[in-house]
A and B are shown apart, each in its own frame.
Chain A
């Protein structure tokens, strides 16, 4: 099964978060809130770093805890770490009980939303969004008097990401095109079949 692998400096950052002298209660709440809201794009970083209440805190520590906690959120949500395990992990890194409760409430509230944000990133092939085709007919060449062969020129417009378009162009004979079409149909049927079976 999936296991959580957090690097040393992230853990160090999380431990810094537990330091009650360095990071006071209201600052702590502000950092956690900002981490979640920035990931969900409801706030920007400037809300955190230009706040007056926070100006008293050491900038390096602030940046460190903020960055580490962002990593913490994303990594735990990547493998959908459950609530109890998150609490255990935080407990191991010396956070006090009410801070853990505070964090876990946020996790409860935003779990689905964050996983939705993460699901946008993907390894995928370009998505075909448009097709143009043209049928050429070769009548003769310098060596053969009568050729009469159809050739299909196919232009696929693809979309890798939003508003980034690519082009795929290829030529094929009638048989090759038929083969392609059959294979596509086959794949479609296979998907339908395996979606019903349960």
Chain B
């Protein structure tokens, strides 16, 4: 019983009852019992005990009321044994233990934790609100840092920047310059934000966005990707292509809508990217430009040198004049020539167009000529045939027949060739269908396997958690030889039981023997009685004293019968006495805690209270009158 008490005490402590270290259930008074039961009921059903006070009220009638209420609630929960308010007001160890055990069984197991957690949250909310209410108002010009920390008035708004975490992955090798950027230019994470307060929000934003993207991708892969028959990397590539082409389309469409006024009319996105890429790898271009520039310089210097030779012969002005004239003449010549050239060009164009027209006409006439030639040939033949119309008709018919026969033959042959080909085609088609079906079924199986894998992973995780929990429980459990003690105890009890069984067997044997003896004795008694009776009756016919003997014998017999009965009665009475004794013991155990003195005291209390109440009523009546 002590161990059961221990368990009950532990649960009570978990429920939040204040129990002293050495206190046991035997020491509980009614106040304590009330508190404990209330804490149990709070966890089991909060609503039902809302009206009850947390401690036992001092007023006697209120005590009775609340106790009977609790008793009813416990009965509603399914408590079978007898229970009413006096069991709670005048507690008795056995009853209370039974009630506690019952309540402990009806505790919802997980709710203990969750209830305490929700309680904590409510407490937190209350605390926060209390803090808010108590907070004194501060004018805004007070220093910001001295206002209460954690209060909203000191808060910064949630604003996020984009972040970048560098890593040595595949992209470092494929993208040129990325490594340099990472090493030289990219700031560490905490300096990437504009304000130091933005670090945390930006970090949350960054982390969650990447996490969500990964999840989204996996979802899509599970839903659509796995059935497409590609591996994940190919799937991603194809998706990239799709997105790119869609972007191209939309850009092109918007360009067309916007008209040709846009500076880059039909550049696709890829062209743009290409241009951009070309921009920073254009080393050769620069070089060639430089080369061109130097060539120009060389030409310029040669012209300068020729001018210097002319200057030695003529004076400055004459030279100027001459040159002007020359330039004018040359200019006019150039103008003329260019005009001529333009004229020629125009003419050329005209001629070219004319030539084209002529060519097209030529082609048309050619085609016409061919048609006409054919017609002419046919007509010529028909005219030639007209001379011998009938014969030719027959010949024609023969020809027709022959060709039709030929046709039939050909078709038969074609049929011969066609059939195996078609059969081959059909079989191939069937094969393909089969393969497609197989692929489908395999895909289905793959999907199932995936689900199975997921399930298994989950199970494994659950099992691991369970294992850890169990291990913790095992760690927490007292290890020192508990088991051996229990086994020893069990063995002892088994031994005891065996001993008792042997004893019982012995007693049973004794009683059986006794019964047998009793039976034999009664049998012999009956037989001897009959014998004596017969003998006496036989003698009675002759003797007078024998008659008397018969009479006394009958009396003796009667007396013996009575004796037997009384012996039986004493046996049964003794049994009764024993059972009554045990009952008395039981009842005394039950009622030993029922302190009659206390009951009498409570009764007198109630009487005094009642008289008080009557007095009050009288006073009220008088005042109202």
Contacts and interface: CB of A to CB of B under 8 A. Distances in A.
B539 interface: no
B200 A117 contact: yes
A7 B155 contact: no
A162 interface: yes
Contacts of B158: 121-123
Contact of A67 (B132, B152, B188): B188
A121 B201 contact: yes
Contacts of A7: 206-208, 210-211, 214
A116 interface: yes
Interface in B17-43: none
Contacts of A130: 140
How many chain A residues sit at the interface, stated as a range, is 35 or more
A119 B168 contact: no
B417 interface: no
Contacts of B154: 120, 162
Chain A contact residues, majority secondary structure: helix
Given A120-B156, A122-B157, A127-B152, A59 B208 contact: no
B190 interface: yes
Given A9-B210, A121-B200, A191-B129, A116 B165 contact: no
Contact of A191 (B133, B196, B197, B199): B133
Contact of B140 (A58, A116, A129, A195): A129
Nearest to A75: B207
A197 B126 contact: yes
Contacts of A154: none
Given A74-B203, A191-B129, A191-B132, A120 B197 contact: yes
Interface of B: 122-123, 125-126, 129-130, 132-133, 139-140, 144, 149-150, 152-158, 163, 165-168, 172, 179, 182-183, 186-191, 196-197, 199-201, 203-204, 206-208, 210-211, 214
A40 to B, nearest CB: 11
A121 to B, nearest CB: 5
A103 to B, nearest CB: 18
A17 interface: no
A118 interface: yes
Interface in A157-196: 157, 159-163, 191-192, 194-196
Contacts of B214: 7-8
21 contacts: A5-B208, A16-B167, A45-B187, A45-B190, A59-B182, A60-B172, A60-B182, A63-B182, A63-B189, A71-B207, A74-B199, A75-B207, A78-B204, A120-B154, A120-B197, A129-B139, A160-B157, A191-B132, A194-B129, A195-B130, A195-B133
A124 B157 contact: yes
Given A38-B190, A60-B168, A194 B200 contact: no
Contacts of B149: 116, 119
B587 to A, nearest CB: 46
B203 A120 contact: no
A81 interface: no
A64 to B, nearest CB: 5
Nearest to B160: A121
Contacts of A124: 152, 155, 157
A194 B182 contact: no
Contacts of A140: none
Nearest to A66: B188
A3 B535 CA distance: 108
Interface of A: 5-10, 12-13, 16, 38-39, 41, 45, 48-49, 58-61, 63-64, 66-68, 70-71, 74-75, 78, 116-124, 127, 129-130, 157, 159-163, 191-192, 194-198
Contact of B167 (A12, A71, A119, A121): A12
A90 B250 CA distance: 47
B179 to A, nearest CB: 7
Given A8-B210, A63-B186, A67-B165, A74 B157 contact: no
A48 B129 CA distance: 42
Contacts of A63: 165-166, 182, 186, 188-189
Contacts of A196: 126, 130
Contacts of B172: 60
B199 A159 contact: no
A60 B188 CA distance: 10
Contacts of B179: 60
Given A68-B165, A120-B156, A198 B122 contact: yes
Contacts of A157: 140
Best-buried of A63, A67, A74, A122 by chain B (most CB within 10 Å):
A67
A70 B199 contact: yes
Contacts of B132: 191, 195
A71 B189 contact: yes
Contact of B155 (A16, A58, A68, A120): A120
B200 A127 contact: no
